[in-house]
Structure 1
């Protein structure tokens, strides 16, 4: 069921609710350039297990408003999510991929400590691989201005970026990530988010000390944390995942076989199983 709220600065935020609205919530936050639709199957699996699953379009993405003032700070994404959480039962779980994971770190570890009962970081650590980050940035920037002449062009570009994922035969699913304008297809997100023209860009992604401090604070509050890595990810190499786990030995870890950076899209079955097992381990008796 769709619902909306207004986040930081009045930006309208779109979200979907799956399952029992009175049940404790698992809130899914997508990565940069994605939408809440990327969580569909995982959210459905969580809702079937008795949780309320909430998927959110971050500001500047999907059906949420673009920030009129160009405010795309990670702290502002986090402030938007806080507004969503105020409409949900207490003690939600945050599941954040990439940008959504960084947002979860700052929200639960700095801006509103204690707001989450557990945190799942999906293929993201503070000290990410710069070459992988540059590759993702280049993918998002390519065709950002010119757009695509057809959905086939979009599918070809995605297949080149994710060679381990089969090219879709049904292209209708791509429409949810695109906007149609002047006979061409364009990515659904605000170009200012990626092209450096935003008045307030997400500079926190480069502040590894701040992000590490946020993770440390989450763990100091005895909040369980799970890192789910795509085994062939180029953003979170195994070495960088290992360094994160050495720094924070309390963090649980799952390496998803056959998945790249888009873990939920690449291997939703294994991803959903890992998240559900983590939720079961940390679900209070009688919940």
Structure 2
């Protein structure tokens, strides 16, 4: 995909593939500088203030949420995290959750977004948790997808292995084959869409990832660091919190139990999906998010601590 092509041309195709009924929302891209002056790009789905902001995981981009946003039928915002998608790379290669969270919150403030629901997967889930803890008045509900602060480098070994592979490819088809060898995606067709939107063609004809992490070689920071400090923020939350687990994702029963034990009023649901739940099970994920939106926007009591589905 070149920057001049219609990046939203796959929305109707995704709606058809996943059996999503109803209108496909209008989508448009915009960008703003964060507090450090670095450009952060984002996608708006639908019109009006967002009911939800989506934050993706490492090595992905805002388009990973396309099908989920279509299925949600609510105005939404999906942000390209710093160093990902069309957002500016950081010279210091600092893509830790706290750094990402600060940049994202800058954008939400500049957009004048009121209290709403944050949905974050993997790295985006940790960043969303930090925003909710540091700025409680800005977040009405939190959905954390296939990540907890207890996840270790061993748990995230698949992503580490994937990013340790080739840094450039002869074609996008090669990248699709490479991704499928890791069990990524529900179909070759869906992976091909993601690859199209997450890569660019260099002047020499080689295909490379758009995200900074895929262009650093041995200088790439390791994933799965010690994120235990994020627990204290999660433990302080007084909003509805939903943990979404992919049945083939990173989370073990022990990690889910720890989350439900430590985060007040939290609940969990397991969906038939890998780590990228938003790509594998977007309709079921959208349904779970709608439930959280309903709870967060009403006077209903939060779920009892530790409830599972």
Normalised by the shorter chain, which TM-score bucket? Answer: 0.7 to 0.9
SS of the aligned residue for 2:254 comes to: helix
What residue is the counterpart of 2:164 in the other structure? Answer: 141
Unaligned 5+ segments in structure 1 are none
8 Å contact kept, 1:33–1:189: yes
Aligned counterpart for 1:245 among listed residues 260, 278, 284 = 260
Q: Residues 126 and 169 from structure 1, CA distance in 2 versus in 1: closer, same or farther, beyond 3 angstroms?
A: closer
1:13 corresponds to 2:27: no
Match of 2:124 in 1: 100
CA distance in 2, matches of 1:192, 1:135: 15
Once residues 34 and 192 of structure 1 are traced to their aligned partners in structure 2, the CA distance between those partners, rounded to angstroms, is 10
Counterpart position of 1:214: 233
Normalising by structure 1, report the TM-score. Answer: 0.86
Q: How many Å separate the matches in 1 of 2:38 and 2:95?
A: 11
On the 8 A contact 2:235/2:264 being kept in 1, the answer is: no
What's the secondary structure of 1:148's corresponding residue? coil
Residue in 2 aligned with 1:225? 241
Asked if the contact 2:64–2:194 (Cα under 8 Å) also holds between the matched residues in 1, the reply is no
The correspondence for 1:116, drawn from 129, 133, 139, is 139
Change (3 A) 1:164 1:74: closer
What do residues 69-101 of structure 1 show as CA deviations (whole Å, max 9, x unaligned)? Answer: 433232221111112211143102110000001
Kindly indicate whether the alpha-carbon contact (under 8 Å) linking 1:8 and 1:76 is maintained by their aligned counterparts in 2.
no
* C-alpha distance 69-129 of structure 1, shift in aligned 2 (>3 A): closer
CA 1:202/1:155 → structure 2, altered by over 3 Å: closer, same or farther?
A: closer
TM-score by length of 2: 0.80
Structure 2, unmatched stretches of 5+, are 1-27, 300-309
Aligned residues: 270
Match of 2:307 in 1: none
Q: State the partner residue of 2:210.
A: 188
Runs in 1 of length 4+ with deviation above 6 angstroms? none
| CA displacement 1:115-150 (0-9 Å, x = unmatched) | 211111010111014323122111122112xx1111
In structure 2, do the counterparts of structure 1 residues 255 and 114 end up closer, same or farther at CA, with 3 Å as the change threshold? Answer: same
The residue number in structure 2 matching 1:272 is 286
**Contact 1:97–1:121 (8 Å) recurs in 2:** yes
